[in-house]
Chain A
Amino acid sequence: MPSALDRELVIQASYLVTAFLFIVGLKRMSSPVSARSGILWAGAGMALATAITFIYPGLSNYPLIIIAIIIGGVIAWVSGRRVAMTDMPQMIALYNGMGGGAAAAIAAVELYRGEHLPLPIAILAVIGGLIGAISFSGSLIAFGKLQGLIKRSFRFGGQQILNMLILLAALILGALLAHGIYSSTGFVTAFFVVALVLGLSMTMPIGGADMPVVISLYNALTGLAVAFEGFVLGNAAMIIAGTVVGSAGTLLTQLMARAMNRSLGNVLFSGFGDTGGAAASGAVTGSMKPIEAADVGVMMAFSQKVIIVPGYGMAVAQAQHKVWELCQLLIDRGVTVRFAIHPVAGRMPGHMNVLLAEAGVPYDLIADLDEINAEFETADVALIIGANDVVNPVARNDKSSPIYGMPILNADKAKNVIVIKRGQGAGFSGIENALFYLDNTRMLYGDGQAAVSQLIQAVKAV
């Protein structure tokens, strides 16, 4: 049995290795070539840290620890393996909320113990607990909304003032706790209840379309909460990993908000849909011109270059496998095929890439907005399937439109634009799409999957 000092050294060294593996893992995850290995590196770090913590000096309650790990781990593993790729955003929200809850639980155990903590430590414990609890209840609401369990966005006048008051109450309770004047069990409980309510009331008014930004924000907040509790426990692995996630998550949140043409303040403090919708834009002139699948098939088969613009509608229709089959036929005929992905094409930035990857589309055929926009002018066909607002040219030129200023894919610049659409209704935001009325646009009406199947037959028949 090694001495306590040796043991301490082994534990600290292992945490250091874990921190290194996490950072290398995240670095590798930020490039598509090495991304797969990144999660394996990070996973190895997590396994090492968890295993070594069992020899932490002075611990008891081992059976409870093991049972809790098994229950939590098995449930999460099974659900994580089974969840459909389309439901990924809410699962990330759920797992993130669990992390926030765990950070809050650590703070709660420390505070309930009622021992006098040094002031800086007590402050960090309280702040970490507050952030963790907000992230926990907020993420659960985000999960409920994306899963369709919560359908309404509860908004009322003075909501922001109410939220500010709740925040103020949480801060006052937290300050008294940290100072150590009031440390009774009831007082600690009141603090956490207020913090949980704050997470709820902050997230309730936010609409589903903005949820990805919110989930990303809570992800960063959980990281921060973990770092703060790491300070409390004197655990360097938690400080480093939590802080890295806190800052990386903040940057990622900004990137996402920018990609969606929303500022973070906008997401948190105003509801989308309040300004959008019917307030819309000048009447669109012209008519939608239908086309038959056979004609589209011929057109695409004899094209030099086809750009596919998929939207979430494609994933809802489960058409991505058929789309890739169609693309393979075209590639075999020597047609250059690219996929143009708008940042909000899926349910969160990057989600559409995951859905296409699931169908087998190699990532080097997939281009994001900045890369592809110049290419539309040289494309013979832009095939739009399940996308609407992200290709609406009014975002470029109609100042009265609620989506004015949003970066869009310039599909209207292609020689021919084919839109696969179920019917003639307006898009997700209820805004009429000027693209559908252009002279070079043809509408292919029908269910996404059926329409693409027809296209496959048409190309085969050429």
Chain B
Amino acid sequence: MTGIVALYIFMLAAFTGYEVISRVPVILHTPLMSGSNFVHGIVLVGAMVALGNAQSELEKTIGFIGVLLAAGNAVGGYAVTERMLEMFKSSGSKGGPKKGAH
């Protein structure tokens, strides 16, 4: 990947992120923050490559910590986001709480 192409990707991705979020209602701020937190868990693939290429003991140790943290970011981010969004239901939806149900 040449530098200028990387910059194009950077610019377009930045606009995309802005547009995707721009009309989000306040009710979804917390789950969305959690969801975007999950998305940067993609750092896991980078950490895997870093550890996979590590040579010295020091590099291996830090790479190991990196993969461990990244896996925590990805898995934890998914777990909490999914739990929060699972609960959002409209009164019309089938899975929604029935009147009088407890």
Q: Check A328 against B29 for contact (C-beta < 8 Å).
A: no
Tell which of A77, A94, A350 touches B30, judged by Cβ atoms closer than 8 Å. Answer: A350
Residue numbers of A with Cβ under 8 A of B are 15, 18, 22-23, 25-27, 29-33, 35-36, 38-40, 42-43, 46, 49-50, 53-54, 56, 58-62, 64-65, 67-73, 75-77, 79-81, 83, 85, 88-89, 91-92, 94-96, 98-99, 101-106, 108-110, 112-113, 120, 185, 215-216, 219, 222-223, 226-227, 229-231, 233-249, 251-252, 255-256, 259, 321, 324-325, 328, 331-332, 341, 343, 346, 348-351, 353-354, 357-358, 360-366, 368-369
Closest Cβ of chain B: how far from A25's Cβ, in Å?
7
Tell which of B70, B88, B90, B96 touches A99, judged by Cβ atoms closer than 8 Å. Answer: B70
Chain A hits for B69, CB < 8 A: 72, 98-99, 101-102, 105
Docked CA distance A49–B10 (Å): 19
| Closest residue of B by beta carbon distance from A255 | B29
Chain B hits for A46, CB < 8 A: 38, 41-42, 44, 74, 78
Chain A hits for B78, CB < 8 A: 39, 42-43, 46, 80
Question: Known contacts A56-B48, A92-B37, A351-B30; can you find 17 more A-B pairs with CB under 8 A?
Answer: A23-B20, A26-B35, A35-B28, A36-B85, A64-B60, A65-B52, A85-B83, A88-B30, A99-B37, A102-B70, A105-B66, A233-B50, A238-B45, A249-B17, A252-B29, A252-B36, A348-B33
Q: Check A366 against B54 for contact (C-beta < 8 Å).
A: no
Closest Cβ of chain B: how far from A253's Cβ, in Å?
9
Assuming the A-B contacts A105-B66, A109-B59, are A233 and B49 also in contact, with contact meaning beta carbons closer than 8 angstroms in the complex? Answer: yes
Docked CA distance A81–B76 (Å): 8
Q: Check B33 against A216 for contact (C-beta < 8 Å).
A: yes
Q: Check B65 against A105 for contact (C-beta < 8 Å).
A: yes
Closest Cβ of chain B: how far from A108's Cβ, in Å?
5
Q: Check A72 against B86 for contact (C-beta < 8 Å).
A: no
Q: Check A102 against B83 for contact (C-beta < 8 Å).
A: no
Assuming the A-B contacts A98-B72, A106-B46, are A363 and B88 also in contact, with contact meaning beta carbons closer than 8 angstroms in the complex? Answer: yes
Closest Cβ of chain B: how far from A187's Cβ, in Å?
14
Q: Check B82 against A43 for contact (C-beta < 8 Å).
A: yes
Assuming the A-B contacts A23-B20, A69-B67, A241-B40, are A113 and B87 also in contact, with contact meaning beta carbons closer than 8 angstroms in the complex? Answer: no
Q: Check B30 against A103 for contact (C-beta < 8 Å).
A: no
Assuming the A-B contacts A59-B52, A368-B25, are A233 and B46 also in contact, with contact meaning beta carbons closer than 8 angstroms in the complex? Answer: yes
Chain B hits for A25, CB < 8 A: 35, 39
Closest Cβ of chain B: how far from A328's Cβ, in Å?
6
Chain A hits for B91, CB < 8 A: 362, 364-365
Q: Check B30 against A80 for contact (C-beta < 8 Å).
A: no
Chain A hits for B31, CB < 8 A: 29, 35, 350, 354
Assuming the A-B contacts A39-B81, A50-B45, A105-B66, are A72 and B38 also in contact, with contact meaning beta carbons closer than 8 angstroms in the complex? Answer: no
Chain A hits for B10, CB < 8 A: 227, 231, 239, 243
Q: Check B43 against A238 for contact (C-beta < 8 Å).
A: yes
